[in-house]
Amino acid sequence: MGNYASYLLYAAVIIWILYRQLAPRPVKEKPTLYLILMLIGLVETVGAINANKIQLTPQWVGILAVSLIVLTAGFGALRALTCRVWADKGVKMRRGTPLTLVLWIITIGAHIYLGTLVKGSDTTMLLSLGLSLFIQQMIVIRRANKLAPANTPEDA
């Protein structure tokens, strides 16, 4: 995929993710979409490695791996804790907060910055986004499952 097409795809995915993060919606138990994003990102990353588009020196392999793990797992977990989770008429709901948005901006900015340090690392964006969303969703699901059912038909 050409650079402009890749950036356009990344921008569209990010805008869509941010919109969904801030909109109230039911908590879904199956993170299928995030697994698909990770798979596409993995295919894109492996393709870039095979085409020698990613040129990592040994010192950067460790730095990039730790950075991606911290950005992906750490910020995914933090964002999950900033989401509001509640039950409405027996349906577990979630919605991101302004702090969730700030953490997204920091996550994306840090990933873009890493992309300027390591040539070709921008191809890991979808993989990183998918994994970060997956971690966030798993924690939100766990939080939602701890809720006491509210407004169930038996309460009426």
What pLDDT score does 56 carry? 65
In this predicted model, which residue has the larger pLDDT, 148 or 133? 133
Q: Long-range contacts: 125-128, Cβ < 8 Å, 24+?
A: 125/10, 125/41, 126/10, 126/13, 126/37, 126/38, 126/40, 126/41, 126/44, 127/37, 127/38, 127/41, 127/42, 127/44, 127/45, 128/41, 128/68, 128/71, 128/72
What pLDDT score does 84 carry? 96
What pLDDT score does 156 carry? 33
DSSP per residue over 60-77, as a string? HHHHHHHHHHIIIIIHHH
Using 50, 70 and 90 to split pLDDT, how confident is the model at 120?
low
Type of residue found at 115: G
pLDDT over threshold 80, residue 106: yes
In this predicted model, which residue has the larger pLDDT, 49 or 3? 49
pTM: 0.81
pLDDT over threshold 50, residue 152: no
Using 50, 70 and 90 to split pLDDT, how confident is the model at 153?
very low
DSSP per residue over 36-98, as a string? HHHHHHHHHHHHHHHTT-----HHHHHHHHHHHHIIIIIHHHHHHHHSEEEEETTEEEEE--H
What pLDDT score does 155 carry? 35
Domain ranges of the chain: 3-148
Type of residue found at 7: Y
pLDDT over threshold 90, residue 27: yes
